[in-house]
Chains A and B, each alone.
Chain A
Amino acid sequence: MTESFPVLLGVMAAAAFLCRVAGFTLMRFVPVTPRVEAALRATPLAVMAGITALAVQAGGWAEGLALASVVGLTLLLRSDVAAALLGVAVVAALRWGGL
């Protein structure tokens, strides 16, 4: 690798920027029918479920229990942010306890 750091940085920044704007730009040419709208509405839920499922799979009991408690606490407290922060405390405590 002989390129200087600013060149490397520029190439990496260009790739990251391309990903940020390309989907958005292409979507400008897709008419938003009710069916497309249903797909777009489902996307965040599916991505969130995917992130959660991968974290459960990659982790052990501590991670699984913490994420399950986030789901329960969100329903109980009606605040997803408070539940998420408590979930972090749960996993830290469980790991500290050796689980």
Chain B
Amino acid sequence: MRHECAPYGAVTRALFSLDGFRRGARDGVPLAVSIFAYGVGFGLVAAQAGFGVGKAVATSAAIYSGSAQLAAVNLLQSGEATLWALFATILVINARYLLFGAALQPWLWQAGPLRAYGSLLLLGDANWMLTMRRIRAGEADRAYLAGTGAPVTLGWLAGTALGTAAVSVLPRPEALGFDLMLACFAAGMMTAMAKTRADLLPVLVGAGAALGIFHWLGPAPAIIGAGLAGAAAAALLHRGAP
């Protein structure tokens, strides 16, 4: 189905250029600063759990998700981790990526399977938000997503290495406010993205659903629930063709 004015509009094979990658990489640098600090935070926790630099960096490269790694390290530390428990923990905590991938699909798939799946390897919370915001503003170059992922990956791995190696001399990232960085980016991008009154609906529904679900089920389901509730509300109240 073709929608002329929509950012999800269909094109045979979408643009995927070095130019778009560079643009994404440049926009990703401020995110990388925050992810670096988050990486330091993970490194500190990993070092306390007995991980060396190599092990910690390998974990950050293989899982590439701070919240999932922290949960996995906690589980490993408890001494009661089975392979299934580890697998299930990461599945539950990263379930929001199902939603992230689905939201990206109509835009990203047009780059072709290899480029699309390759780009998904570099998908994280912060660069997903950034890319969704840019898609809405008309970004057509599908290399943008991978571009945003490049500095973020470097920051994440370098932060992990530094946090693990220098555990005894570093200040806690909380002291500098870096633990609030992702929420600050979320608040800022949300404000910039909400342009019409209709945009207030997913904002209100998302916030309400997150708080309600958090109360009963905890933080991981709360984020997925927020996304699903906001999407459902927008679909239900959508006027016009089904």
Interface on A for B, CB 8 Å cutoff? 1, 3, 5, 7-28, 30-55, 57, 59, 63, 66-67, 70-71, 73-75, 78, 80-81, 83-85, 87-92, 95
Please report the total number of B residues contacting A with Cβ < 8 Å. 103
Q: Which residues of B contact A20 (CB under 8 A)?
A: 94, 97, 101, 120-121, 123
In contact, A12 and B72 (Cβ under 8 angstroms):
yes
In contact, A12 and B223 (Cβ under 8 angstroms):
no
Interface on chain A toward B: helix, strand, loop, or mixed SS? helix
Q: Which residues of A contact B55 (CB under 8 A)?
A: 5
In contact, A23 and B102 (Cβ under 8 angstroms):
yes
Provide a sorted-by-A list of 24 A–B residue pairs whose CB atoms are within 8 angstroms.
Answer: A8-B81, A12-B68, A15-B86, A15-B87, A19-B91, A23-B97, A27-B106, A31-B1, A38-B238, A40-B103, A44-B129, A45-B199, A47-B186, A49-B190, A51-B183, A51-B223, A53-B207, A55-B180, A84-B185, A84-B188, A87-B188, A90-B177, A92-B175, A92-B176
**Across the two chains, which residue of chain B brings its CB closest to A78?**
B192
Interface on B for A, CB 8 Å cutoff? 1, 3, 6, 8, 27, 30, 33-34, 55, 58-59, 62-65, 68, 72, 76, 79, 81-83, 86-88, 90-91, 94-106, 108-109, 116-117, 120-121, 123, 125, 128-129, 132-133, 136, 174-178, 180-194, 199, 201-211, 214, 219, 222-223, 225-227, 229-235, 238, 240-242
